[in-house]
């Protein structure tokens, strides 16, 4: 075991905390600009220390556990929600050499581990012994499991094309053309479903401020609440990385511009995905809960099954088969 | 990378994932105030005194969605190996590999259509 094995993940974690800090600021700035206002601009120049101040505030807040709550589960829940969010990053190939665990089943690992977070959310919701949080947690779980099905099924087209679950092979298979072109339907399904998995607007019903107060984490204060939020933003990082690897060619350069290093290409595409997430949040209104579940089962699921057969059919057509 | 090394990497990631919240909450414990009172320990219910238990009954449809989820999640477990091996199976078995999957998915889609018709997917 070399030094990279131990230090690499620690460095990644520090980078991740930096990313989360500035992703939150960037999100608020972008939404501010879209709504024609400056966004946070008081703490530090250009509001640069706003999130740091927020985190410090959360750290200094009293930690309240409601009297009726299930104490041990209540304290455990944020950890259960956070650990898988970080653990999925082990398989993401940032460049051809920057990857922590080169798993032959990388994609399957990501999908399997990421669903554990639902258990953390349900645990927190139930342990709070609060009506709002219980209903919010149940809604959250129903939404996340419903959208997981189209998410998982939509990438099967890519797996059929690559013949591998290794994310490295999937990226390298996109040398000729990125999968967003031949698998455009899959990309649409994947992107919509990932918005729902991330609990982001227009799918932020679990948090729906105006109807459920705050959803599953209504009883959480201080840093325990912060860990639910952290898990959410780490998933933004992970999901944007996964989207980049699956559909946007990962670290592969565009137009043969190989003098720009792969990590910059990765960051560029990754930032584009993250920006799109913020952009959609500022643009779209929240769905109604009845529309939400029907959309997953009646629209996205049949479409993702259709995509599997379309891929199989395109493999048979001589002109197209080189792309599939 | 060999398999053991990959598992060790994942174990290290999980250990770090546990370590960060534990460390942060421990540091927080030294910094934050702690003045518990009986008012603070009351369950939040929009500022009024909570009535009854927090563990209320919820709608049975959540279980129906959970059942549907289990069915289709197991389906994906069968679909992934099939998709990985598709090209080699196609070369040896011919188009039958596709027909088999059409039959398998067809049966499950039949179940989905039944649930759809029974208005299980409808959320009121």
**Residue A167 and residue A177: Cα distance in Å, rounded?**
16
Q: Are residues A38 and A112 in the same domain?
A: no
A279-303 tens-digit pLDDT: 998 888 888 877 888 888 899 999 9
Confidence of residue A59 (pLDDT cuts 50, 70, 90): confident
What is the reported pLDDT for B65?
Answer: 87
Min Cα separation A270/chain B (Å): 22
The residue segments making up the domain with residue A43 are 1-59
Question: Residue A155: which of A199, A101, A197, A116 has the closest Cα?
Answer: A197
Min Cα separation B82/chain A (Å): 8
Q: Are residues A36 and A87 in the same domain?
A: no
What is the reported pLDDT for B91?
Answer: 86
What is the reported pLDDT for A86?
Answer: 92
Q: Are residues A141 and A48 in the same domain?
A: no
Q: Tokens representing B14?
A: 């999980």
Average pLDDT, whole number, for chain A?
Answer: 87
What is the reported pLDDT for A206?
Answer: 66
A111-149 tens-digit pLDDT: 889 889 899 988 988 888 888 888 888 888 888 888 999
Indicate whether B15 pLDDT > 90: yes
The percentage of residues in chain B with a pLDDT greater than 90, rounded to a whole number, is 13
In chain A, which residue's Cα lies nearest the Cα of B79? A156
What is the reported pLDDT for A236?
Answer: 92
Q: Are residues A286 and A202 in the same domain?
A: yes
**Residue A209 and residue A206: Cα distance in Å, rounded?**
9
Min Cα separation B96/chain A (Å): 12
Of B44, B62, B123, the CB nearest to A290: B123
Helix, strand, or coil (residue B112): helix
Choose, out of B5, B7, B10, the residue to mutate when testing the contact with A (most A CBs < 10 Å).
Answer: B10
Indicate whether A209 pLDDT > 70: no
Do the Cβ atoms of A302 and B109 come within 8 Å?
yes
A89-102 tens-digit pLDDT: 988 988 887 778 77
What is the reported pLDDT for A324?
Answer: 73
Q: Are residues A83 and A49 in the same domain?
A: no
Q: Are residues A175 and A316 in the same domain?
A: yes
Do the Cβ atoms of B69 and A68 come within 8 Å?
no
Q: Other CB atoms closer than 10 Å to residue B33's CB: what's the count? A: 8
A224-250 tens-digit pLDDT: 888 988 998 999 999 999 999 999 988
Indicate whether A272 pLDDT > 90: yes
What is the reported pLDDT for B2?
Answer: 66
Q: Are residues A122 and A245 in the same domain?
A: yes
Domains of chain B: 3-117 (1.20.58.1610)
In chain A, which residue's Cα lies nearest the Cα of B24? A223
Q: Are residues A13 and A104 in the same domain?
A: no
Do the Cβ atoms of A64 and B87 come within 8 Å?
no
Number of domains composing chain A: 2
**Residue A225 and residue A238: Cα distance in Å, rounded?**
20
Q: Tokens representing A84?
A: 């898988």
What is the reported pLDDT for A30?
Answer: 92
Do the Cβ atoms of A149 and B76 come within 8 Å?
yes
Instruction: Mark which of A39, A59, A79 sits at the end of a domain.
Output: A59
Instruction: Mark which of A59, A82, A100 sits at the end of a domain.
Output: A59
Of B5, B20, B122, the CB nearest to A294: B122
Alpha-helical (H) ranges within A248-283 are 262-283
What is the reported pLDDT for B60?
Answer: 82
Q: Tokens representing B57?
A: 């009954």
Instruction: Mark which of A12, A35, A59 sits at the end of a domain.
Output: A59
Q: Are residues A301 and A236 in the same domain?
A: yes
| Lowest pLDDT segment from A94-103, A193-202, B5-14, B26-35 | A94-103
Min Cα separation B83/chain A (Å): 5
Q: Are residues A190 and A46 in the same domain?
A: no
Give mean pLDDT, residues B72-88: 89
Q: Are residues A17 and A164 in the same domain?
A: no
Q: Are residues A25 and A125 in the same domain?
A: no
- Which residues on chain B are in Cβ contact (under 8 Å) with A102? 1, 6
Give mean pLDDT, residues A191-219: 78
Q: How far is CA A57 from CA A82, A142, A223, A227, in A?
A: 20, 33, 9, 14
Contacts of A167 (CB under 8 A, 6+ apart): A91, A92, A93, A99, A103, A106, A107, A110, A245, A246, A250
């Amino acid at each position: 075991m070399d030094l990279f094995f131990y230090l690499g993940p620690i460095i990644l974690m520090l980078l991740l905390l930096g990313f989360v800090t500035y992703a939150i600021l960037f999100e608020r700035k972008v939404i501010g600009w879209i709504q024609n206002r400056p966004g946070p601009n008081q703490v530090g120049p250009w509001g640069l220390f706003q999130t740091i101040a927020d985190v410090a505030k959360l750290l200094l807040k009293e930690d309240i556990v409601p009297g009726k709550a299930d104490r041990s589960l209540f304290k455990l829940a944020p950890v259960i929600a956070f650990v898988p969010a970080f653990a999925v990053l082990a398989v993401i190939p940032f460049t051809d050499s920057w990857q922590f665990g080169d798993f032959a089943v990388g994609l399957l690992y990501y999908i399997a581990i990421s669903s554990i977070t639902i258990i953390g959310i349900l645990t927190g919701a139930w342990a709070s012994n609060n009506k709002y949080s219980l209903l919010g947690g149940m809604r959250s779980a129903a939404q996340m499991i419903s959208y997981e099905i189209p998410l998982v099924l939509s990438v099967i087209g890519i797996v059929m094309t690559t013949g591998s679950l290794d994310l490295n092979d999937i990226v390298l298979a996109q040398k000729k053309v990125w999968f967003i072109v031949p698998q455009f339907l899959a990309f649409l399904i994947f992107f919509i479903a990932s918005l729902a998995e991330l609990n982001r607007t227009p799918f932020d019903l679990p948090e729906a401020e105006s109807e459920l107060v705050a959803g599953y984490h209504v009883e959480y204060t201080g840093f325990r609440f912060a860990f639910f939020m952290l898990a959410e933003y780490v998933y933004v990082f992970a999901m944007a990385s996964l989207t980049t690897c699956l559909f946007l060619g990962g670290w592969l350069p565009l137009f043969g511009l190989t003098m720009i290093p792969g990590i910059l290409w990765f960051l560029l595409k990754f930032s584009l995905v993250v920006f799109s997430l913020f952009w959609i949040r500022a643009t779209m209104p929240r769905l109604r809960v009845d529309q939400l579940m029907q959309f997953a089962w009646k629209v996205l699921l049949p479409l993702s099954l259709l995509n599997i057969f379309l891929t199989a059919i395109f493999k048979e057509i001589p002109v197209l088969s080189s792309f599939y | 990378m060999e398999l053991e090394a990959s598992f060790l990497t994942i174990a290290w990631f999980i250990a770090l994932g546990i370590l960060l919240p534990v460390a942060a909450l421990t540091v927080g414990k030294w910094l934050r105030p702690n003045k518990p009172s009986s008012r603070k320990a009351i369950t939040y219910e929009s500022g009024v005194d909570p009535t009854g238990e927090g563990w209320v009954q919820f709608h049975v449809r959540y279980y129906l969605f959970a059942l549907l989820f289990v069915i289709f999640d197991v389906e994906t477990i069968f679909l992934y190996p099939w998709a990985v091996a598709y090209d080699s199976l196609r070369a040896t078995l011919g188009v039958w590999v596709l027909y088999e999957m059409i039959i398998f998915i067809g049966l499950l889609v039949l179940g989905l259509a039944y649930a759809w018709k029974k208005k299980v997917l409808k959320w009121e």
